[in-house]
Amino acid sequence: MRNRNQGPALHSIRGRMVLGYLLITFIGFAIVLVSVSGIVENYLVHQRVSEQTRSVEEIATAVESYVREGEAAQLYNMAVSYSQELSGRVLIVDKNGVVQIDALSALNGRAPDYSEINRVLFYGASSDYGFHRMVESGDGFFQSLFPKEEWTVYYVSAIGGPGEGLGAVVFSASIQDVKDSVASIRAQLLLIIAVVAVGIIVVASLTAKSITRPITELTRIIRRMSRGEWNLRAKVEGKTEVDELGRSFNDMSERLEHTERFRSEFVSNASHEIKTPLASMKILIESLLCQDQLDECVTREFLGDVNKEIDRLSTVVSDLLEMVRLDQNEDTFRPARTDLSELCEVAVKRIRPIAEQKGIRLQTALPSLFAEVDPVKMEQVIFNLIDNAVKYTDGSGTVTVSLALDGDTAVIGVKDEGIGIPEKDIPHIFERFYRVDKARSRDTGGTGLGLSIVERIVRQHGGSIEVHSRENQGTAFYVRLPLVQGERENREAI
């Protein structure tokens, strides 16, 4: 039973390719058949007509003296002899077109009405010929439906010179053997065409199958991927266009698998991040509800913890929304010529109270540098980096925020003297929800999305971010941004 997804054969690429090969082959062979048979037929007919025209002219010359002398018996013998020799029928007509001699003695005294005779006797042509189709019907029903046809050529040549009026020699001979030879050649060509067509069908089918096999395989894999099997890949071996399609498909499916895995992890992590503060608040509130008498100090403590969890939940939701906006490439990127030193000053001013509360010194080295950035988003980048530096630096430590020129780029540096990052964790710190120290990150309110958002915003600006860190010695982040054209020229002039 035919698969309901396959459809008619002609709707497939394979069926269309085979049909196309056949059409091209049949059209080509039809042209060859008609051309070759026509050329052969024309050549054979022309050769036969030329030979027999010369023979009739020779007969007219040979009988001229006997016609002048009226030697009827000799003329008849010559007519019979030439008829047998040339496998035809010889007639001798007078100047009025009346048959005087007939090799078969059937038309004597009659005047055959043939245009070839009239052109020679009455219009001054020295010789002429014409083709006539003879139809012979049989007695039976089948013979009457399909009568036998035979083509005959009539040759006429004048006897004597122009104006002598001695009559003409008429010779009729069948040319059916030439027609039959051409028909035989045509039949042989048709047989060759049929054999070649069968071969072409086989070769075209195998070729089409080899070409469409990867496409069929891709279709099968795509159907399975639509059901959630993201780990499938097409088998690619050659270097054809279809193989290139397979390689591109494999690249796409690999990205899709990565995206799907990433999406699943994102949903799982996001659910966990949201569920954790909700679970904490539920426990705290249930604890309050279970107390018969509410103590004001305990209540305030519990409500303070609930407030912290609400703040944490709000931060998670805000970071998630920001990440979704970045993933969807929403049109919120509004670059403008911005003084990076001012953005750094604003971020430092916002974080300074927290740093002073922890006893951390904030140092700055911020010369004026201009870049084409979105000020809101870039301030968020700088603030997140400084905030992380302050969070993971113990009291009496120092956080340094710097701005420097390096060729055509402005480099924003945020360096701390904190706990540092283990070397094995450095390649993963920009991944979503990744925490180096999960317990401490939760204590500091980290969501695991801050650095991922920073990295996405920096790439959105056409820049890059680097991190250098040693455990228990500190961490340094460097954000590189391209300068605006005018700033480059000014710096070069200086």
User: The domain that contains 25 carries what CATH number?
Assistant: 3.30.450.20
One-letter-per-residue 3-state SS of 122-189: HCCCCEEEEEEEEEECCCCHHHHHCCEEEEEEEEEEECCCCCCCCCEEEEEEECHHHHHHHHHHHHHH
- 51 and 178 both lie in a single domain: yes
- 52 and 158 both lie in a single domain: yes
pLDDT of residue 137: 55
Does the pTM surpass 0.95? The reply is: no
User: What three-state secondary structure class fits 272?
Assistant: helix
29-55: burial string, b at 16+ Cβ within 10 Å, e else: beeebeeebeebbeebbeeebeebbeb
- 299 and 398 both lie in a single domain: no
- 283 and 382 both lie in a single domain: no
Sign of CA dihedral 422, 425, 427, 430: negative
pLDDT of residue 485: 58
Measured between alpha carbons, how far is 457 from 343 in angstroms, rounded to an integer? 15
Q: What is the DSSP secondary structure assignment for residue 11, as one 8-state letter?
A: G
- 259 and 344 both lie in a single domain: no
* Residue 297 resides in a domain: yes
Q: What is the DSSP secondary structure assignment for residue 238, as one 8-state letter?
A: S
* Residue 64 resides in a domain: yes
* Residue 33 resides in a domain: yes
- 176 and 315 both lie in a single domain: no
Instruction: Give 140's Cβ-side CA count (13 Å radius).
Output: 4
* Residue 210 resides in a domain: no
- 436 and 462 both lie in a single domain: yes
User: What three-state secondary structure class fits 65?
Assistant: helix
DSSP E strands: which ranges in 345-492?
361-365, 370-373, 398-406, 409-415, 464-470, 474-482
CB proximity list for 200: less than 8 A, separation 6 or greater: 21, 22, 25
Last residue of a domain, one of 296, 326, 356: 326
Which tokens hold the place of 76?
Answer: 């008849």
pLDDT of residue 451: 84
* Residue 87 resides in a domain: yes
* Domain assignment of residue 396, given as a range: 334-493
CB proximity list for 478: less than 8 A, separation 6 or greater: 411, 412, 413, 465, 466, 467, 468
Measured between alpha carbons, how far is 175 from 153 in angstroms, rounded to an integer? 7
User: What three-state secondary structure class fits 214?
Assistant: helix
Last residue of a domain, one of 326, 347, 369: 326
- 290 and 346 both lie in a single domain: no
Last residue of a domain, one of 326, 358, 376: 326
Beta bridge partners of 483: 371
Task: Walk along the chain (494 residues) in steps of 10 and give the mean pLDDT of each run.
Answer: 46 72 80 84 88 91 89 91 91 91 90 89 87 68 58 90 81 86 84 83 78 77 78 73 77 77 65 69 78 74 77 68 61 79 91 88 91 87 90 87 90 91 84 61 58 84 90 91 65 45
Instruction: Give 309's Cβ-side CA count (13 Å radius).
Output: 19
Measured between alpha carbons, how far is 184 from 89 in angstroms, rounded to an integer? 26
* Residue 228 resides in a domain: no
Measured between alpha carbons, how far is 106 from 110 in angstroms, rounded to an integer? 9
- 186 and 274 both lie in a single domain: no
CATH label of the domain that carries residue 351: 3.30.565.10
CATH label of the domain that carries residue 275: 1.10.287.130
The three-point CA angle 459-460-466 to 5° equals: 20
The three-point CA angle 52-56-57 to 5° equals: 115
- 276 and 363 both lie in a single domain: no
* Residue 224 resides in a domain: no
Could you give the number of structural domains in the chain?
3
Measured between alpha carbons, how far is 323 from 262 in angstroms, rounded to an integer? 13
- 25 and 146 both lie in a single domain: yes
* Residue 208 resides in a domain: no
Reported as a single tens digit per residue, the pLDDT across 26-55 is: 888 888 888 888 888 888 888 888 999 999
Q: What is the dihedral of CA 318, 320, 322, 325, to 10 degrees?
A: -140
pLDDT of residue 362: 92
- 302 and 422 both lie in a single domain: no
